[in-house]
Amino acid sequence: MLVPALLVLLFCLRGHAGLSPHFLQQPDDLVALLGDEARLPCALGEYWGLVQWTKDGLALGGERDLPGWSRYWISGNAASGQHDLYIRPVELEDQASYECQATQAGLRSRPAQLHVLVPPEAPQVLGGPFVSLVAGIPANLTCRSRGDARPIPELLWFRDGIRLDGTSFHQTLLKEGTTGSVESILSLTPSSHDDGATLVCRARSQALPSGKDTAITLSLQYPPVVTLSAEPQTVLEGEKVTFLCQATAQPPVTGYRWAKGGSPVLGARGPMLEVVADASFLTEPVSCEVSNAVGSANRSTALDVQFGPILQARPEPMSVDVGEDASFSCAWRGNPLPRVTWTRSGDAQVLGSGPTLRLPSVGPEDAGDYVCRAEPGLSGLGGGAAEARLTVNAPPVVTALHSAPAFLRGPARLQCLVFASPAPDAVVWSWDEGFLEAGSRGRFLVETFPVPEGREGQGPALISVLHISGTQESDFSRGFNCSARNRLGEGGTQVSLGRRDLLPTVRIVAGVASAAMTLLMVIIGVTLCCWHHGKASASFSKQKNLVRIPGSSDGSSSRGPEEETGSSEDRGPIVHTDHSDLVLDEERALETKDPTNGYYKVRGVSVSLSLGEGPGGGLFLPPPSPLGHPGTPTFYDFNPHQGMVPPCRLYRARAGYLTTPHPRAFTSYSKPTSIGPPDLAPRTPPFPYAAFPIPSHPRLQTHV
């Protein structure tokens, strides 16, 4: 029991006697801001001797106030072993390695590194605080931080508290181990919306985590920003419209320029333009260009102009063969878009709608004019129509025209009407003993005349006339065929010649005789009256006077020797006679009876008429064109229902002569003979005719 107690006491005495000086607290590395206070702690145990601090191995001294180091001192309870080093204010030269040493005990603390931080200064933005930029042009903003900031600061850009990207960073060295300046460059392409914006450049480091800011304001120069409006935007054609061009710009606007559809509007200079709207404004927008010292900007707008239909593409005439398809197209423009319908000319039935009309397998009945009609839209404006003709090519259609009856051995005329598309290659007249296409042959002559306007859609029309001189009995009993052909086929018809009796001619002769008797009685009465007054008896010259019928081919006219003896002043007037309607004797000479029964020995007139190269031996000459100069094609304009036919003039190869007892015994009498309208055959379609000159054939009337 005693032994353990002694051992414990011995151990306790040994432990107390073996305690030695040691560090209770050693300094650590320290970071201090420039100008702040730095404290390096040091605490020793079981040591009551001298304590000193070293700076980079240099002893600062053993006294507590550290004379010679005005900003340094040692503080703490020395009895308790507290020996802390204080530095205030911290400067850059204080950055070093510090040790706490117990010199008498030979103790040294671990080295403690003091880092002095220098906060950055406020950065500088080149060109600030107001930086002028041009909108749309890339620019660089430079933020620079100068001084001995430690550590090197970071330069950041902010706008409205939001960090901006697109920066670059670099630094400039002044000398080894130190820095001169730090720059940060912000690249941007400003717009007009950036005008007046505030940008912040912030210098931030460990010494100053919150950083220091420098703000700048952007002053943007930008070309005009244009707004173009129209009032009203939807307008009827012919109404006024006002365009207003508004612009913001820096520097201010210097000019306005207006254009329509790319063409300048002359005389327009200001921000307002007044116009009268028409259809062109729908497709040709109005533009306003505004300019300043930086540049220019352009805006355009189109009006919603409501207008009636406008024809853009007219339907084209078509010519197709029978059985083929036909189509017409037309284009109309309008706002609202017009409704397009197709009808036939003169018919209200709608055949189709839309820009195209298709007619499959056309026939002759489809020929005619077709109308493309644009109906007004919702606006109720306008409307229009365009026509195109469809010609259906088919074999010729030949129709017989009514021909006037003819006298036996007199002239006759037969006619036919030909419709053909394409035009016929030939129109031929044929009869029992032959045929004739053109020109003359014996007693026959063929003439063909174009009609300016044919039947609607059936191409041009022709009238072919067959003239017959000196008709014979067989001409009234046989048929004459008129036929025409083209590349699609042939068509024809038969024409008959009607006969006319001589009764009207007999009546005319009787009337002439009655008039002659009446005149004779008047002359006898006058003569007796003269005898009653005792005047000398009048004697008639025995010399015969001659009456020449004009139309003779020469001026001499065949006369007998007895007829040539008369003087020129005793000769009677020359009279053109036409006795085609008188009674003809066997020698084809006209024979009139003496109304005085031989009292005055009045001779009949012998007139020889011949047509063509007939038995009379006369010459048949075709008439000149009634509508043009000689030698040019003959055209006749046939007006409806007038029924005039091409004239046929008869030229006399010989003239007869009439002897009279006295020049005053006869007077000339002319009876106009007109060529009547052709009699159309039943169901023959009407066609236009033109009026032709009406020849007249003077007749000889004798008075006794």
pLDDT value at residue 259: 95
Summarize the confidence of residues 372-391 as an average pLDDT.
80
Query: Which of 2.60.40.10, 3.10.20.740, 2.40.30.10, 2.60.120.380 is the CATH number of 119-302?
Result: 2.60.40.10
Q: In angstroms, rounded to a whole number, what is the distance separating the alpha carbons of residues 519 and 503? A: 25
pLDDT value at residue 437: 86
Residue with the two structure tokens 């800011």: 213
pLDDT value at residue 534: 61
pLDDT value at residue 384: 84
pLDDT band at 309 (very low <50, low <70, confident <90, very high): confident
Residue 560 exposure: Cα atoms within 13 Å on the Cβ side: 9
Please write the tens of the pLDDT for every residue from 75-127: 988 888 999 999 999 998 999 999 999 988 889 999 999 999 988 888 999 99
Summarize the confidence of residues 240-267 as an average pLDDT.
92
pLDDT value at residue 378: 60
Residue with the two structure tokens 């020849």: 695
Please write the tens of the pLDDT for every residue from 332-358: 988 888 889 999 998 889 999 999 999
pLDDT value at residue 465: 93
**Which range has highest mean pLDDT (502-516, 526-540, 592-606)?**
502-516
pLDDT value at residue 675: 40
pLDDT band at 13 (very low <50, low <70, confident <90, very high): very low
Query: Which of 3.40.50.880, 1.20.1280.290, 3.30.1310.10, 2.60.40.10 is the CATH number of 402-496?
Result: 2.60.40.10
Query: Per this entry, what is the length of the chain?
Result: 704
pLDDT value at residue 5: 44
Instruction: Tell me the DSSP string of 649-688.
Output: ----S---EEEESSGGGEEEEEE----PPPPPPTTPPP--
Please write the tens of the pLDDT for every residue from 617-647: 333 334 443 333 434 343 334 443 344 444 4
Summarize the confidence of residues 283-289 as an average pLDDT.
93
User: What does the radius of gyration of the chain's CA atoms come to, in whole angstroms?
Assistant: 67
pLDDT value at residue 147: 74
Write out the two tokens for 277: 């709207």
pLDDT value at residue 674: 39
**391 vs 17, residue with greater confidence:** 391
pLDDT band at 41 (very low <50, low <70, confident <90, very high): very high
Please write the tens of the pLDDT for every residue from 382-411: 678 999 999 988 888 899 998 889 999 889
Write out the two tokens for 532: 């009653």
pLDDT band at 40 (very low <50, low <70, confident <90, very high): very high
Residues 6+ apart with CB under 8 A from 599: none
**688 vs 91, residue with greater confidence:** 91
**172 vs 391, residue with greater confidence:** 391
Residue ranges covered by each domain of the chain: 22-117, 119-302, 309-392, 402-496
Q: What percent of the chain has pLDDT over 70?
A: 68
Q: What percent of the chain has pLDDT over 90?
A: 33
pLDDT at 668 over 70: no
**Which range has highest mean pLDDT (157-171, 239-253, 529-543)?**
239-253
Q: In angstroms, rounded to a whole number, what is the distance separating the alpha carbons of residues 557 and 568? A: 15
Helix (H, G, I), strand (E, B) or coil at 169: strand
pLDDT band at 286 (very low <50, low <70, confident <90, very high): very high
Q: In angstroms, rounded to a whole number, what is the distance separating the alpha carbons of residues 704 and 690? A: 43
Q: In angstroms, rounded to a whole number, what is the distance separating the alpha carbons of residues 618 and 367? A: 48
Instruction: Tell me the DSSP string of 64-83.
Output: TT-TT-TTEEEES-TTTTB-
Helical (H) or strand (E) element with 9? helix 2-17
Write out the two tokens for 425: 């290659």
Residue with the two structure tokens 């100008």: 35
Q: What CATH architecture applies to the domain 22-117? A: Sandwich (2.60)
Summarize the confidence of residues 604-620 as an average pLDDT.
36
pLDDT value at residue 372: 94
By CB neighbour count within 10 A (0-12 exposed, 13-18 middle, 19+ buried), where does 19 fall?
exposed
Residue with the two structure tokens 């026939």: 363
Write out the two tokens for 596: 């005085």
pLDDT at 581 over 60: no
Nearest residue to 289 (alpha-carbon basis) of 258, 262, 266, 252: 258
Q: Using an 8 Å Cβ cutoff, are 554 and 661 in contact?
A: no
pLDDT value at residue 565: 33
pLDDT value at residue 43: 93
**Domain 309-392 annotated CATH 3.40.50.300:** no
Say which DSSP state 512 is in: H
By CB neighbour count within 10 A (0-12 exposed, 13-18 middle, 19+ buried), where does 287 fall?
buried
Q: In angstroms, rounded to a whole number, what is the distance separating the alpha carbons of residues 43 and 48? A: 11
Q: Using an 8 Å Cβ cutoff, are 111 and 167 in contact?
A: no
List the beta bridge partners of residue 181: 146, 172
pLDDT value at residue 331: 92
Q: Using an 8 Å Cβ cutoff, are 153 and 137 in contact?
A: no
Q: Using an 8 Å Cβ cutoff, are 545 and 570 in contact?
A: yes
pLDDT at 600 over 60: no
In the predicted model, what is the mean pLDDT of the chain?
Answer: 74
Write out the two tokens for 103: 């010199």
Global confidence as pTM: 0.43
pLDDT value at residue 207: 86
Q: In angstroms, rounded to a whole number, what is the distance separating the alpha carbons of residues 67 and 436? A: 158
- Same topology, domains 309-392 and 402-496? Answer is yes
Per DSSP (E only), the strands in 69-138 are 72-75, 84-87, 97-102, 107-108, 112-117, 124-125, 130-134
Least confident stretch, 125-129, 175-179, 283-287, 518-522: 175-179
pLDDT value at residue 622: 41
Please write the tens of the pLDDT for every residue from 556-576: 333 333 333 333 333 333 333
Q: In angstroms, rounded to a whole number, what is the distance separating the alpha carbons of residues 47 and 429? A: 163
pLDDT band at 681 (very low <50, low <70, confident <90, very high): very low
**149 vs 51, residue with greater confidence:** 51
